[in-house]
Amino acid sequence: MSKPDTIKKEPLIHITKRDAISWQKSMLIRAIAIVCALLFTAVIITILAKQNPFKVYASMFSGAFGTPRRIWNLLNGTCILLGIALAVTPAFRMKFWNCGAEGQTLIGALAAAACMYLFGDKMPLPLFFVVMTLICIVVGAIWGLIPAIFKAFFNTNETLFTLMMNYIAMQLISFFMLIWGKDGSGTLPNMPEFRFPKIAGNEFLLAIIAVLIVCGLMYVYLRYSKQGYEISVVGESENTAKYIGINVKKVIIRTMIISGALCGFVGLLLVANGSCTVNTAIVDGRGFTAIMVSWLAKFNPLYMILTAFLIIFLQCGAAQISTDLRLDKSIGDITTGIILLFIIGCEFFIHYKVHFRKKTKEEHDA
Amino acid sequence: MIAFLVSAIRFGMTLLFGSTGETITEKSGHLNLGIPGTMCVGAASGCVAASLYYTAASGNLNPVLAVLIPLLATFAGGALMGLIYSFMTVTLRANQNVTGLVLTTLGVGISDYMVAGIEPHTYSSASIFFTTSLPFAKHLGWFGELFLSYGIMIYLAIVIAIVSSLVLNKTKLGLHLRAVGESPATADAAGINVTAYRYGATCIGCGIAGLGGLTFVMDYMLGNWEYVIDSIGWLAVALVIFTVWRPNFGILCSIIFGAFYVASSYLNIDLAAKALFKMLPYVVTTIVLIIISMMNRKEDQPPASLGLNYYREER
C-alpha cells in the first residue's frame, strides 16, 4: 500500500475512541443530531412538497397531541412498540440478532384470535382470558424457541432464520383467515365480546399499565438478576462465558423463550385489547421498528420509553401531515427515515472523537 | 406448463438481480437489510428517468435509449442507497441491521413519493422495449418460447450473475473481496483496503439489486407500478441463503423460487392452499439454512464476518 520512500504524513482526519463521555455531552450530541435532522427534512419538504416546513411541523404536533383521543392513541402506540422493543432487548444484549419480533408478535396475535374464534364462548370469560393469555405466551415462546435451538446447537445464522420465520407466520395468518373467514372474504369477523375489560372507562389503559410493569420487570431482570448477568456475559464474549461456567446453549434458548413469550404477549394485547381480529398487517412493521427503539436506547429498558415515544410521535405526526397538507403518505416515511439515520449516525460522535490535522482536538458534531 | 415455466423464469430473474447484488454485498461482510428499500428506489429512479425521457422525446422513443436511460438511472439510484449504507456502517460505524432496516423504511417512502409524482403512462410506454424479444423466437416452437422469448433484462440478469460469479471466484479482485468478508483484520494486514472494498461492493451490489426492482416493474408487471417491491426484496434476501452465496448457482435457485411464487396461480387449488403455497419459499430457505449449518461445510457458510463492522483499532 504505502510506498516506503514517501514522507510520513499525518492523515487529514483521524479518529480515536472516547474512553467515557459525560451523560450531558452525549445527550447534547443527540439533541444536535435531531435538530440537524429536522433542519434537513425541512429543506427536503420545502423542495419536494413546496410547503412551509413550519406548517408541517405544526401539523405534526397537532397530529400527536391535538385531541385527547390522539394523545391516547399516541400512548397506546408507544406502549405496543415499547412492548416489542422490550421483547427483543434480552436477545440483543446477548448479540442474538432477533429480527423475528414481527413474526413472534404476529403468531401471538393469531393465537389470540384463534382462541376467540375456537373456544371463546365455551368457558366463562375470566377463565377464558387466563387461558388465552397463556396460549399466546406459549405460542410466541415456541416461535422464538425454534431459531434459538438451531442457533445454540448448530450455530445457524439467527438474523436470516428469524427473518424467514416472519414470513411463515404471515402466510399462516392468511391461511387461517381464509379457512375461518366464513364469507370467503379472507377476513375474520370482529369479536368484541372477548375484548379485555376497560380500566376506568379507558380502552387503552390496560395495555399501557401491563407494558409499563413489564418494562420495570425487564429492567430489574437485566440489571440485577443472575440470568441478566449471564445474558450480558454471553453478549460480551461467548468464550468468557464458557470459561466461567455459563451454559451458553441454555442461556441462548432461555433468553429467546423470554423474547418470544413477550412478543406473544404483545400480540395478545394487539388483538384482545385492540382490534379483536387478526390480519397480516396487524403488527405493521413494528417488529422491525422495535429493533431500532431498543438499539437507540442502548438496550436500556427505561430509555426505551423515550425512544419508543419519539418514533411513535414521528409516525403520528407524519400521518397528520399527509392528511392536513394533502401530501403523499410517503413524506411521513421519508421524514422518519431521515431522522432515524441522523440519530444512528450521531452515535459515532458519541463513541469516537474526530481530530483534524494541525488543529488541536477540535470537536465535531453531527 | 411452458407458460408456467416462462412466468417462473421471468419472476425468478427479478429475484436473481436482488440476490446477486446482495451476495456481492454480503461477500464484503455487509448484511444489507436495506435491499428491499434499495430495489424500490432503483425501480422508482428508473421509472422517473423513463418518464423524463418520454417528456424530453415528446413520445417518440428510441428503443435503445428508452432501455438504457432507465437502466443507468436505476443503477445509480441503487448505488446511491448503497453509498448511504456504506457511509453509515463503514465511516460512521453504525450497526448494520439497524441501518439496513431504516434504509428500507426510507427507500419505500422515497420510491412511493417519486412514483406518485409522475404520470404512469410516461414510464409504462418504455416497458414495451424492455419486453421485446428476439423476432425469430416465435418460430421456434416451445424451444423459442422457453429460452428466447424474454426481454433484455432477463438475459442481463443471467449475464450479471455469471460475471459476478467469475469475478468472485476466479479473479484477484474477488479473492480480495472474499478476504474482506471473511476476516477483515487479516485482509487489512495483507494490505487490502477494507474500506474501499466494502464501499465498492456495497454500491455495486445495491446498483444491481436496484435493477431487480426495474425488471419487476418494466418486465414482469409490464410497466405497472405495484407496491410490493419491498416484499420481493425480502424474498431476494432469502434467495441469497438458498443459493449458498453463489450467484451462478443462483440462476437455477431463482427459477425454483420464481416457480414457488407463481405456482399458486397455475394450480387448481383453493385460496387457503394458495396461502400455504406462498409460504414455501420461506420454509425451503429456512430448511436450507438449517442444513448448511448442520453440515458445516466450509464452502457453504455465510462470510465469517457477515454483519460485523471492522474497526482497525479494535483488533
Indicate whether this model's pTM tops 0.90: no
Q: Mean of the pLDDT values across residues A83-104?
A: 90
How far apart are the CA of A204 and the nearest CA of chain B, in angstroms?
27
Q: Where are the domains of chain A?
A: 15-51+327-366, 78-319
Q: Residues 6 or more apart from A274 whose CB is under 8 A from it?
A: A76, A207
For residues A144-168, give the mean pLDDT: 88
Distance (Å) from the alpha carbon of A210 to chain B's nearest alpha carbon: 27
| Average pLDDT score, chain A | 83
Report the pLDDT value the prediction gives residue A91, as an integer from 0 to 100.
Answer: 92
* DSSP-assigned letters across all residues of B278-290: HHHHHHHHHHHHH
Local structure of B177: helix, strand or coil: helix
Residues from chain A that touch B176, judged by Cβ atoms under 8 A, are none
Cα B303 from Cα B181, distance rounded (Å): 6
Tell if the CB–CB gap between B97 and A291 is shorter than 8 Å: yes
Q: How far apart are CA A288 and CA B106, in angstroms?
A: 13
Tens digits of residue pLDDT in B48-64: 988 888 888 877 778 88
Instruction: Give the relative orientation of helices B194-215 and B2-27 as an angle to the nearest 10 degrees.
Output: 160
pLDDT, tens digit, 9 for 90 and up, residues A4-39 = 444 555 667 777 777 777 777 878 888 888 888 888
Q: Taking the CA atoms of chain A, what radius of gyration do you get in angstroms?
A: 23
- pLDDT at residue A10, as a whole number: 63
- Is the pLDDT at A143 greater than 90? The verdict is yes
Using a CB-CB distance cutoff of 8 angstroms, which residues of chain B are in contact with residue A172? Answer: 279
Q: Which residues contact A292 (CB under 8 A, 6 or more apart)?
A: A307, A311, A340, A344, B98, B101, B102
* Residues of chain B where predicted confidence (pLDDT) is lower than 50: none
Considering only CB atoms, which chain A residues are within 8 Å of B104? 288
CA distance A348 to chain B (A): 5
Helix (H, G, I), strand (E, B) or coil at B75: helix
Nearest to B106 among A16, A159, A341 (CB): A341
Q: Quick one: which H or E segment has residue B85?
A: helix B63-86
What integer pLDDT is reported at residue A364 of this predicted model? Answer: 47
Q: Do A337 and B313 touch (CB under 8 A)?
A: no
Give the total residue count for chain A. Answer: 366
pLDDT, average across residues A44-51: 74
Q: How far is B152 from chain A (nearest CA, A)?
A: 31
B130 DSSP assignment: H
Instruction: Determine the straight-line distance between the first and last CA of chain B, rounded to whole angstroms.
Output: 56
Per-residue pLDDT band at A236 (split at 50, 70, 90): confident
CB atoms within 10 A of CB A63: 24
CB within 8 Å of A311: residues ≥ 6 apart: A81, A289, A292, A293, A336, A340
Instruction: Reply yes or no on whether the pLDDT at A61 is more than 70.
Output: yes
- CA distance linking residue B125 with residue B106, whole number of Å: 28
Q: How far apart are the C-alpha atoms of B305 and A328, rounded to whole Å?
A: 40
Instruction: State whether residue B84 is helix, strand or coil.
Output: helix
Q: What is the 3-state secondary structure (H, E, C) of chain A?
A: CCCCCCCCCCCCEEEEECCCCCHHHHHHHHHHHHHHHHHHHHHHHHHHHCCCHHHHHHHHHHHHHCCHHHHHHHHHHHHHHHHHHHHHHHHHHCCCCCCCHHHHHHHHHHHHHHHHHHHHHHCCHHHHHHHHHHHHHHHHHHHHHHHHHHHHHHCCCHHHHHHHHHHHHHHHHHHHHHHHCCCCCCCCCCCHHHCCCCECCECCHHHHHHHHHHHHHHHHHHHHCHHHHHHHHHHHCHHHHHHCCCCHHHHHHHHHHHHHHHHHHHHHHHHHHHHCCCCCCCCCCHHHHHHHHHHHCCCCHHHHHHHHHHHHHHHHHHHHHHHHCCCCCHHHHHHHHHHHHHHHHHHHHHHEEEEECCCCCCCCCC
pLDDT at A77 over 80: yes
For the residues A171-186, what does the mean pLDDT come to? 78
Question: Which site among B279, B287, B305, B310 would you substitute to test the A interface, given the most A Cβ atoms closer than 10 Å to its Cβ?
Answer: B279
Q: Measured between beta carbons, which residues in chain B are less than 8 angstroms from residue A165?
A: 286
Residue in B247, B258, B257 with CA at minimum distance from that of residue B220: B258
Residues in A closer than 8 angstroms to B103, CB to CB, are 337, 341
Percent of chain A's residues with pLDDT above 90:
27
pLDDT in the model for residue B312: 77
Residues 6+ apart with CB under 8 A from B299: B244
Distance of CA B242 to the CA centre of its chain: 14
Nearest CB to B290; choose among A99, A150, A333? A150
Q: Which grid cell sits at A136? A: 399466546
Contact across the interface for A156 and B290, Cβ inside 8 Å: yes
Tell me: ipTM over 0.95: no
Q: Which residues pair with A354 in a beta bridge?
A: A15
Of A160, A167, A330, the CB nearest to B112: A330
**pLDDT value at residue A267:** 93
Q: In the prediction, which pLDDT does B205 show?
A: 94
- Cβ of B93 within 8 Å of Cβ of A328? The answer is no
The closest alpha carbon to A139, from A119, A169, A167, belongs to A169
CA distance A144 to A253: 9
Mark yes or no for CB contact A344/B101 under 8 Å.
no
Taking 80 as the threshold, does the pLDDT of residue A287 lie above it?
yes
Q: Which of A159, A161, A337 sits opposite B102 (nearest CB)?
A: A337
Q: Which among B14, B80, B41, B43 is positioned nearest to B239, based on CA atoms?
A: B14
Which residues does B63 contact at the CB level (< 8 Å), separation at least 6?
A: B129, B132
> If you measure CA to CA, which chain A residue comes closest to B98?
A292
Ordered domains of chain B (ranges, CATH): 2-305 (1.10.3470)
Instruction: DSSP letter for B118, please.
Output: S
Question: Cα(B201)–Cα(B211) distance, rounded to whole angstroms?
Answer: 16
- DSSP state for residue B33 in the 8-state scheme: T
Answer whether B241 sits within 8 Å of A352, measured CB to CB.
no
Contacts of B109 in chain A (CB under 8 A): 330-334, 336-337
Which residue in B101, B282, B289 is closest to A168 by CB distance?
A: B282
Confidence of residue A141 (pLDDT cuts 50, 70, 90): very high
Show residues of chain B in contact with A167, CB under 8 Å.
234, 238, 279, 282
Q: Which pLDDT does position B122 carry in this prediction? A: 79
Which residues from chain B sit within 8 angstroms of residue A332, using beta carbons? 109
